[in-house]
């Protein structure tokens, strides 16, 4: 896929997620996206989802501004195993607790899932501004790290 094609796919994917989540208010949008990403990764045995389809990747690219300042200490912290574990625990804990506790009230569950999605995007953009491009993706992304394990296992 060329860079231009990737951009188009990323924007279409972002628009689809926006329609499903915001217009149709489907609380399980993120789960559909994750299932799609997992199937794509299992079939292609590459991180195609991350390089083209992921809406979070598109959002980060859209907000990226080249800058000289890089907080190297923070970058090293994000690369650490404990940061990866902590972010994974917070993210997957919030997703599973929301589904488990709020499934009887779809409206509240939708609000919780939207907050998780927007919160993750905000953290990713903020960290990118403080360190380097797509730092969320290269270090702590809880879902990206699972896809990374899938690809690694396939290559063994
Ligand atoms: S690492 Fe995470 S946020 Fe980045 S592109 Fe992959 S799934 Fe999306």
CB of 28 closer than 8 Å to CB of 22: no
Nearest-CA residue for ligand 1 atom 6 is 50
Mean local confidence (pLDDT), 106-112 = 97
pTM score: 0.92
pLDDT in tens, 54-86: 999 999 999 998 877 789 999 999 999 999 999
Who contacts 51 (Cβ-Cβ below 8 Å, separation ≥6)? 1, 6, 57
Domain spans, the chain:
3-155
Residue 143: phi and psi, rounded to 5, are: -80, -40
Token pair in block for residue 37: 């990403």
pLDDT (average), residues 26-42: 96
Query: Per the structure block, which two tokens stand in for 97?
Result: 């607790």
* Nearest alpha carbon, ligand 1 atom 7: 144
The finding on whether 59 has its CB within 6 A of some atom of ligand 1 is no
Q: In testing the pocket of ligand 1, which one of 6, 30, 34, 57 has its CB within 8 Å of the most ligand atoms? A: 57
Helices within 21-141 (DSSP H only): 29-44, 48, 55-63, 72-79, 81-102, 106-130, 135-138
Average pLDDT over residues 4-14: 94
**Nearest CA residue ID for atom 4, ligand 1:** 137
CB 10 within 8 A of CB 53: yes
- The end-to-end CA distance of the chain, in Å, is 25
């Amino acid at each position: 896929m060329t860079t231009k094609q990737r951009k188009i796919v990323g924007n279409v994917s972002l628009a689809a997620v926006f329609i499903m989540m915001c217009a149709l208010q489907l609380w399980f949008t993120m789960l559909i996206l994750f299932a799609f990403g997992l199937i794509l990764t299992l079939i292609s045995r590459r991180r195609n989802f991350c390089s083209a389809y992921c809406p979070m990747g598109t959002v980060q690219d859209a907000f990226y501004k080249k800058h000289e300042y890089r907080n190297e200490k923070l970058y090293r912290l994000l690369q650490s195993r404990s940061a990866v574990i902590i972010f994974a625990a917070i993210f997957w804990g919030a997703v599973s607790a929301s589904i488990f506790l709020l499934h009887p009230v779809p409206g509240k569950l939708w609000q919780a899932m939207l907050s998780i999605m927007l919160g993750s995007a905000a953290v990713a953009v903020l960290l990118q501004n403080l360190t380097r491009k797509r730092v969320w993706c290269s270090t702590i992304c809880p879902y990206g790290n699972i896809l990374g394990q899938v690809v690694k296992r396939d290559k063994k």
